[in-house]
Amino acid sequence: MNDAQIFVGIRVLIIEDEALVSMMLEEFLEQIGCRMMGTASRLDDAIIKARSLPLDMALLDVNLAGEASFPVAEILTARDIPFIFVTGYGPLGLPADMRHIPVLPKPFQMAQLVDAMRMAAY
Amino acid sequence: MVAVPFASPSTTSRVARMRATLVTWLAAGLLALGGLLAVSNGFFLATYTLSAATILLALAAAVFAASIWAKRRIRRDIDAKLGRLERFMQTFGQTQGTLRGLDGRIVLWGIGAERLYGYCEEEALGKNGFDLLHTRFPIPFEEINAILARDGEWQGELTRRHKDGREIHIIGKWSLIRGEAGEPEVAIEVSSDITSIKLAQRQLHQTNALLRAILETAPGLIYAKDLQGRIILANVSTLDLIGKPWPEVEGRTDLEFLDSKGQAEAVMVNDRRIMDQARTEEFEEVISCEGRHPRVWSSTKAPLRDADGKVIGLVGVSVEITERKRIEERLQLMVNELNHRVKNTLATVQAIASQTLRGGDPIVRQNLERRLMALAAAHDVLTREKWEGASIDDVVTGALAPFGEGGDHRFAVSGPSLRLLPRAALALAMGLHELTTNALKYGALSTLNGQVAINWQIVEGAKPLLRLTWIESGGPPVAVPSRRGFGVRLIERSLAQDLGGKASVIFDQPAGIVGTIEAPLCDVVVSAEVTPFLPVGALQAGAR
């Protein structure tokens, strides 16, 4: 877990509609020393938080209770905040202009989460 | 010898004969006069009358001689003419000509007729030709006779029967020969065999009818275009789609029929390319219609060639697949949604386990996580294949992938290409995951040099089997565990059950673990014949 030290203290937003998955993500991130800035499970909430919170990184579920979360992705891109998609779909479910964003397929292991975050950060 | 049916002396020979007869009578008259004088001379002037009678007799003798000479010349003349006539008849007989009486009785039958109809002269002469040859007339026989009597000739197609029973078609040319008084005497029949032409015509007709039937019943568009893209053939479906009758379609191009001129030009450019390359091609064409969704066509277009093989246009068949495409897209969407749900559920299960096991044995948590991951990986393979089946190579590779980093040489994978049914694919993926985990912990993969050979093959027999073997080598000495762990039990029970076969794990000392999975091929492999078909209703809906 030493390579995850780079994430100590970074501010993260989790956007995920499955509460349990969201909780697990929080637990994972806290283990590697991230600072949890907040969570959102609905699109409108996610948009507000993505616009307003001070962030270094975001984890973004592609499907938020049936709604695509791409508007959030656009806000994060505009703010130049690195993020990863967390999805059950795989990269093919993404619009062409977002295919370069790292994708963390569900279910995932912690190592995969760290890899995806590293890819997004650099 | 050809039978000469009648003798019709020519005008010239009749005059010659009359002259000869006249000379004969003259000679006879002179002879009678001489004789009279000779008889009477005894009573009157003996000396004078005797000399006159002698002169008359001599004259009569000379005239007789002349008449005999004339008759012989006439005879020679007639013989020569008869000879010529006979030669003509023979030659006529070699053609397919015959002569018949008005009642149909055959009076001349040559070698040509024999060749055509199979009957020899003896069999034909004197018979009624129409009965003998089972003649069928195109119009009633009485009408033909009326025409023959009026015009002196008739021509038409007849069907007759050869001696061997086969039907022959001929064109008959009949001419009437009249006697001196103008009364009909005999008829000449000259026949040309057109059986092969008739058969070819009939075949052509059948081929045309077949083609027409195909054109009108095929559930799609069938059309042909010339080099300039002008339509030269279109079936009913094509005309229906265009919405115009054939006279308004013939010779026009797509520019006049498609709503979008740009698309029409693109279609014509593509057509032109196919004609230039002279190669058949299959592709999809998307044609937009005003006020409607675009329609998708699966088209096959082939160059159309003339008799010399030169490309003179193209023939196309297009079947609408709009509905099929829509269903395919919906199916893909549903598969994506299903996969999304499954993955989310797995992630939720993972989250529940992770919360539940918090503070417990991290190994347990990791084991659970890895099993969930293996299940998810198998789902990925199936999702890519739309849950119709999965390639066994993909399943095996997918199951080994999490362990293969930098160590691909540790696995030797071999076997024929097969498509597994979804259930079999999931079971196999889970089984391989357990075997790999076990090998990493206790078996061949726990050492630096250990290896695993994974091989599968089809065991032929009354009921062919799929046999997959997992053979470890180069690992530490194997100890038979006192208690069979979950992994081994999962393989031996769950796998065997899901595959409808049997599975065993042998702790083969000292070589390593040997796992064998056997299952009836038909229960685990997607049958080649069972390709997923669309429901018939969807096909029908998509036909027009």
Kindly state the tokens that stand for B388: 């119709």
B540 domain-assigned: no
**Percent of chain B at pLDDT above 90?**
32
Q: Does residue B487 fall inside a structural domain?
A: yes
The upper half-sphere exposure of residue B176, i.e. CA atoms within 13 Å in the direction of its Cβ, equals: 19
- Whether residue A106 and residue B373 make contact (CB cut-off 8 A), yes or no, is no
Give domain status of residue B214, yes or no.
no
Confidence of residue A91 (pLDDT cuts 50, 70, 90): low
Residue B281 has pLDDT above 90, yes or no: yes
Q: How far is B505 from chain A (nearest CA, A)?
A: 29
Note whether A27 contacts B354, CB cutoff 8 Å: yes
Sheet with B281-287: strands ordered across: B231-234, B221-226, B311-320, B295-305, B281-287
**E runs forming strands in B266-424:** 281-287, 295-305, 311-320, 390-391, 411-414, 419-420
Specify whether B338 is located in the same domain as B455: yes
Q: Which residues contact B183 (CB under 8 A, 6 or more apart)?
A: none
How many Å apart are CA B288 and CA B220, to the nearest integer?
18
Q: Domain check: are B344 and B492 in the same one?
A: yes
Residue B8 has pLDDT above 60, yes or no: no
Q: How confident is the model at residue B305 (pLDDT cuts 50, 70, 90)?
A: very high
Give residue B370's pLDDT band: very low, low, confident or very high (50, 70, 90). confident
Whether residue B16 lies inside any domain: the answer is yes
Radius of gyration of chain A (CA): 13
pLDDT, greater one: B208 or B543: B208
Phi, then psi, of A30 in degrees rounded to 5: -65, -35
Looking at the predicted structure, is the pLDDT value of residue A47 above 50?
yes
Q: Are strands A11-15 and A57-61 parallel, antiparallel or unpaired?
A: parallel
Average pLDDT for residues B15-39, to the nearest whole number?
77
- Please judge whether B343 and A21 are an interchain contact, meaning their C-beta atoms are less than 8 angstroms apart: no
B209: phi then psi, degrees, rounded to nearest 5: -65, -40
- Range in B258-262, B295-299, B387-391 the model is least confident about: B387-391
The arithmetic mean of pLDDT across residues B25-51, rounded, is: 70
B283 and B186 in a common domain:
no
- End of a domain among B51, B76, B92? B92
Please give the pLDDT value at position B335: 80
Whether pLDDT at B481 is above 80: no
Rounded to whole angstroms, how far apart are CA atoms A84 and B154?
Answer: 98
Claim to verify: residue B192 and residue B233 sit in the same structural domain: no
Q: Chain A within 8 Å of B333 (Cβ-Cβ)?
A: no
Do the domain assignments include residue B36?
yes
Cβ atoms within 10 Å of A50's Cβ, excluding its own? 26
How many distinct structural domains can be found in chain B? Answer: 4
Whether the per-residue pLDDT at B6 is higher than 50: the answer is no
| B478 lies in some domain | yes
The per-residue pLDDT for B48 is: 67
Look at the block and give the residue holding tokens 């992770």.
B354
Work out the average pLDDT over A11-27: 91
- Residues B234 and B466: their CA atoms lie apart, in Å, by 52
Contact between B121 and B114 (Cβ < 8 Å) = yes
| Same domain? B178 vs B279 | no
Closest partner residue to B348 among A20, A27, A87, by Cβ? A20
Q: Which residues of A touch B369 (CB under 8 A)?
A: 107, 109
Residues B287 and B342 in one domain: no
* Contact flag B369-A109 (C-beta cutoff 8 Å): yes
Top mean pLDDT of A43-57, B419-433, B458-472, B477-491 is at: A43-57
The DSSP code for B421 is -
Q: Tokens 């991230």 correspond to what residue? A: A34
CB B169 within 8 A of CB B193: yes
Contact B487, B513 (CB under 8 A): no
pLDDT value at position B541?
37
DSSP E strands in B350-488: the ranges are 390-391, 411-414, 419-420, 451-459, 465-473
Q: Which of A24, A90, A93 sits opposite B351 (nearest CB)?
A: A24
> What secondary structure does DSSP assign to B300-328, as a single string?
EEEEEE-TTS-EEEEEEEEEE-HHHHHHH
Amino acid at A118: R
pLDDT digits (tens, 9 = 90+) for B107-150: 889 888 999 999 999 999 999 989 999 999 999 988 998 898 89
Structure confidence at residue A4 as a pLDDT band (50, 70, 90): low
One-character DSSP codes across B461-529:
SSS-EEEEEEEEES-PPP---SS--HHHHIIIIIIHHHHTSEEEEEEETTTEEEEEEEEEHHHHB--SS
CATH of the domain at B456: 3.30.565.10
Q: Which of A27, A92, A106 sits opposite B343 (nearest CB)?
A: A106
pLDDT value at B542 more than 60: no
For chain A positions 46-105, those within 8 Å of chain B (CB to CB) are: 63, 87-90, 92-93, 105
pLDDT tens profile B453-471: 999 999 988 889 999 999 9
Which domain-ending residue is among B285, B320, B355? B320
pLDDT at B334: 85
- B494 with B410, same domain: the answer is yes
pLDDT > 70? residue B530: no
* Cis ω before B510 (30° cut-off from 0): yes
**pLDDT at residue B366, as a whole number:** 80
Distances in Å between the alpha carbon of B237 and those of B226, B244, B322, B447? 19, 11, 16, 70
Domains and CATH numbers, chain A: 2-121 (3.40.50.2300)
B281 touches chain A (CB under 8 A): no
Confidence check: pLDDT of B152 > 80: yes
For residue B439, how many other CB atoms are within 10 A of its CB? Answer: 25
Percent of chain A having pLDDT more than 70?
93
- Per-position b or e across A88-120, b if 16+ CB within 10 A of its CB: bbbeebbeeebeebbbbbbbbbbeebbbbbbeb
- How distant, in Å, are the alpha carbons of B125, B198, B297 from that of B193? 21, 9, 51
Q: Is residue B206 part of a domain?
A: no
Considering only CB atoms, B354 lies closest to which of A24, A93, A106, namely A24
Residue-wise over B38-68: b if at least 16 C-beta within 10 A, else e? Answer: beebeeeeeeebeebbeebbebbeebbeebe
The C-alpha of A107 sits at a distance from chain B's nearest C-alpha, in angstroms, of 4
Q: Are residues B88 and B25 in the same domain?
A: yes
CB B450 within 8 A of CB B435: no
Q: Examine residue B209 and state whether it is found in any structural domain, yes or no.
A: no
- Chain A residue with the nearest C-alpha to that of B376: A107
* Rounded Cα gap, residues B210 and B204, in angstroms: 10
CATH number at residue B115: 3.30.450.20
The string over B241-253, giving b where at least 16 C-beta atoms fall within 10 Å of a residue's C-beta and e elsewhere, is bbeeeeeebeeeb
Tell whether B348 and B487 lie within a shared domain.
Answer: yes
Q: Does pLDDT of A118 surpass 50?
A: yes
Residues near B49 by beta carbon (within 8 Å), at least 6 away in sequence: B37, B38, B40, B41
Question: Both B102 and B228 in a single domain?
Answer: no
Best residue in A1, A20, A67 for a mutation probing chain B (most B CBs within 10 Å): A20
Domain membership of residue B147 as a residue range? 95-199
- Region B99-104: what's the mean pLDDT? 87
Read off the pLDDT of residues B193-238 as tens digits, 9 standing for 90 and up: 999 998 999 999 999 999 888 888 888 999 999 999 999 999 999 9
Same domain, B309 and B447: no
B193 and B167 in a common domain: yes
Give residue B514's pLDDT band: very low, low, confident or very high (50, 70, 90).
confident
Which chain A residues have a beta carbon less than 8 Å from that of B357? Answer: none
Whether B351 sits inside 8 A of A21 (CB atoms) is: yes
Please say whether the beta carbons of A33 and A8 come within 8 A: yes
Look at residue A71 in the predicted model and tell me its pLDDT.
94
